[in-house]
Structure 1
């Protein structure tokens, strides 16, 4: 029971997160560390978000779809050094954002674009204290970089490339297992990282129009509670609660602010509150080879104006997936539909509590595939 049903629980986690809090696209995976024996997996994700809005004062002036489709690839490998100690490594496309406001819409910042990319390379160890209790921890090398191009009234007044920068953080956690009922509860903390991004490009407000400087951004710490338990023959309930400290994250661009009467641009990215994301679902074994799962996800809408480079707020999602097991191979596929929370954007001042644009009725569709081998 344990092997098949735990595979079912993994099915819905396979689909990429698609518009989770901040610009996180996935959390560093840890499930592979609990596989038996030596194990390797390759995962693919693809998301198709649709996010659009309109000016409150002129609802006929719309943005068009401002988000781009994207794909992700992840790798993980784990080896048992002995009966108590396991060592693993994972490469995960943790962070990302792709925003492009179509031209010709009449929206004030039509033609503006922004892209962020971040990944996590983690080396993780796990030590089994006894049959039920284990601890895990390791080091995380986190990278982040990107570029932005800002347009106002059809005029491009700012372009910048932020060179990729890496910082080392850590993760630490504990897990309790009761194999006879497929019970596992795990708690994992991941530390914050700090990045100094060198910027280069053009600004209409910099001396000579040339950008020369850097900006500091902190990527948030997180705390994740994962759980699963058998509740009947071949049936498993699973879920997670994840807190991410997004309120520490702020990205300012050197020489980005235009003089009055135009509104200030900075910060390019900032978040007023942290996020808590909930997921709960049920998995079921249908045969010796196939198991399936369905789950729902929820992230509260904060109701605070966002920046134009991330005009989403909260989510409600439905995930469906299945796992096929054959000898030492396990194939997991999942699909996720996300109802993206409404957001206000285009703030007039950094401290304003209202926005003059409304993004509503948005969604995303994500697909995921994971192939794992035990050996």
Structure 2
């Protein structure tokens, strides 16, 4: 009885140490979709803030330096769980499961030339053209192409004027993006409702499940010569909410502080509104395609499987393990205009190219130890490995997984309230960046980052 009580106390003491256990570099994974708040005993609630900062630098295909592209990224996680009786439990979880934040800077192939006149001259091959002259010529050609042909141009002259107008408009669109950088931002939010039912002689087993509401939005800018004819491309994907589900099973043995849980989350299919701007679309298609398009886009966020495990080693020490699998090889973002322009090249027919995709599935493993130093104080340490989602990988997130080491501590302010803090250092895997056309356009080596987290929790048993 004394051993069981001490192990239970230890479990309570370290339950909230998992502050920064997930900050995954594979695909768009961020929060790790943790559900351990629901697995706590009694009434439990938590609020978690996580901050991620990476140093991701490299070189482009021309050997130019690429300054740090990793934008600092933060997100929140909340959880509430309550027992209806000794059999049924309910919970609500909020997190921000997937995301990305990258911003290129410096003088490299991912930045548009800051000189609009130079862009015009390079694109048209006319050393005498300037951005102002392009604007004037466009106005003149639009006047000449007024319906009814008031200038009396021959069919050949009309065709010539139309072709010239398309080329000048492409040059104008590129010049309007002078000095801009490649950027990406993806944000998601998720709310999960869970109902659990315990069974077994000692209520040691629990099955649980429930609905998931998820919102996703994204903005992507491709700039610079690295993207060839796709330079200047922009897509804004408006926020869309759709639904999926979660299901799992857990087992507990309180006398040795053992808990194990296997959780599956379904994929979620989104149909969002997207606005695309592709400056060279009209020129590349000889006027068949517009350079701007508003359309729907289908994005399916991936399914996942999480395994969470803990067990007491002695009355003051707890061992933990986490494993996560996400099939990023099934994920793709395929805006319709970008995809259609790609089919102009016979090599990419009939499917065309996605804007973002990954080659491999993600595996993440983390092992930890927690130690109670005093009745109100516990510390923990962990090491981890993330496989990444392939190499080469999209130039919008050129990292191949990571190795990690982390530390955390929790202090029980009162019998029920506690504050936890944790940190993790990440050694990112070297990766080569590629464009959707599979061209290797960058090389990123010897990069790292860190994660910091703070949690406030309340538990009443």
TM-score (norm 1): 0.91
Q: 1:372 corresponds to which residue?
A: 457
Q: CA deviation at 1:286?
A: 0.5
**5+ residue gaps in structure 1?**
none
Q: CA deviation at 1:272?
A: 0.8
**Contact 1:49/1:67 (8 A) holds in 2:** yes
Q: 1:158 corresponds to which residue?
A: 233
Residue 266 and residue 68 in structure 1: after superposition, are their counterparts in 2 closer, same or farther (change >3 A)? farther
Distance (Å, rounded) in 1 between the aligned partners of 2:442 and 2:451: 26
Which of the pair is proportionally richer in strand? Answer: 1
- CA deviation map 1:132-188 (0-9, x unaligned): 111111111121111112212499622221011222111111111110110111111
The reply on whether 1:180 has 2:255 as its aligned counterpart is yes
**Contact 1:11/1:292 (8 A) holds in 2:** no
Q: CA deviation at 1:317?
A: 0.5
**Contact 2:362/2:388 (8 A) holds in 1:** no
Residue 8 and residue 240 in structure 1: after superposition, are their counterparts in 2 closer, same or farther (change >3 A)? farther
Question: How many positions carry a matched residue from both structures?
Answer: 368
Q: CA deviation at 1:197?
A: 2.2
**Contact 2:102/2:397 (8 A) holds in 1:** yes
Distance (Å, rounded) in 2 between the aligned partners of 1:266 and 1:362: 29
- Worse-matched range after superposition: 104-113 or 309-318: 104-113
Secondary structure, counterpart of 1:6 in structure 2: helix
Superposition CA RMSD, Å: 2.4
**Contact 1:16/1:45 (8 A) holds in 2:** no
Q: CA deviation at 1:229?
A: 0.6
Secondary structure, counterpart of 1:32 in structure 2: coil
Q: CA deviation at 1:201?
A: 4.1
Q: 2:410 corresponds to which residue?
A: 323
Distance (Å, rounded) in 1 between the aligned partners of 2:376 and 2:207: 31
- Worse-matched range after superposition: 268-277 or 147-156: 147-156
The reply on whether 1:297 has 2:372 as its aligned counterpart is no
Secondary structure, counterpart of 1:255 in structure 2: helix
Distance (Å, rounded) in 2 between the aligned partners of 1:214 and 1:179: 51
Secondary structure, counterpart of 2:223 in structure 1: strand
Q: 1:343 corresponds to which residue?
A: 431
**Contact 1:28/1:120 (8 A) holds in 2:** no
Equivalent residue in structure 1 for 2:321, among 213, 217, 239 = 239
- CA deviation map 1:109-154 (0-9, x unaligned): 5611111001110001111113311111111112111111221249
The reply on whether 1:32 has 2:45 as its aligned counterpart is no
- CA deviation map 1:281-311 (0-9, x unaligned): 1111101000111001102256521111111
The reply on whether 1:68 has 2:71 as its aligned counterpart is yes
- CA deviation map 1:305-343 (0-9, x unaligned): 111111111110011001111211021110011111111
Secondary structure, counterpart of 1:247 in structure 2: helix
Which of the pair is proportionally richer in helix? Answer: 2
Distance (Å, rounded) in 2 between the aligned partners of 1:202 and 1:343: 29
Distance (Å, rounded) in 1 between the aligned partners of 2:441 and 2:276: 29
Q: 1:227 corresponds to which residue?
A: 309
Residue 10 and residue 23 in structure 1: after superposition, are their counterparts in 2 closer, same or farther (change >3 A)? farther
**Contact 2:277/2:291 (8 A) holds in 1:** yes
Distance (Å, rounded) in 1 between the aligned partners of 2:12 and 2:459: 13
**Contact 1:47/1:367 (8 A) holds in 2:** yes
Q: 2:268 corresponds to which residue?
A: 193
Distance (Å, rounded) in 1 between the aligned partners of 2:437 and 2:355: 13
The correspondence of residues 112-191 of structure 1 with structure 2, limited to 5 A, is 112-130=182-200, 131=202, 132-153=204-225, 157-191=232-266
Equivalent residue in structure 2 for 1:271, among 340, 353, 358 = 358
Q: 1:105 corresponds to which residue?
A: 107
Secondary structure, counterpart of 2:396 in structure 1: coil
**Contact 1:68/1:100 (8 A) holds in 2:** yes
- Worse-matched range after superposition: 105-114 or 190-199: 105-114
Secondary structure, counterpart of 1:35 in structure 2: coil
The reply on whether 1:216 has 2:298 as its aligned counterpart is yes
Q: 2:331 corresponds to which residue?
A: 249
Distance (Å, rounded) in 2 between the aligned partners of 1:52 and 1:214: 34
Distance (Å, rounded) in 1 between the aligned partners of 2:398 and 2:254: 43
Distance (Å, rounded) in 1 between the aligned partners of 2:233 and 2:390: 29
Equivalent residue in structure 1 for 2:28, among 17, 23, 27 = 23
Distance (Å, rounded) in 1 between the aligned partners of 2:253 and 2:100: 39
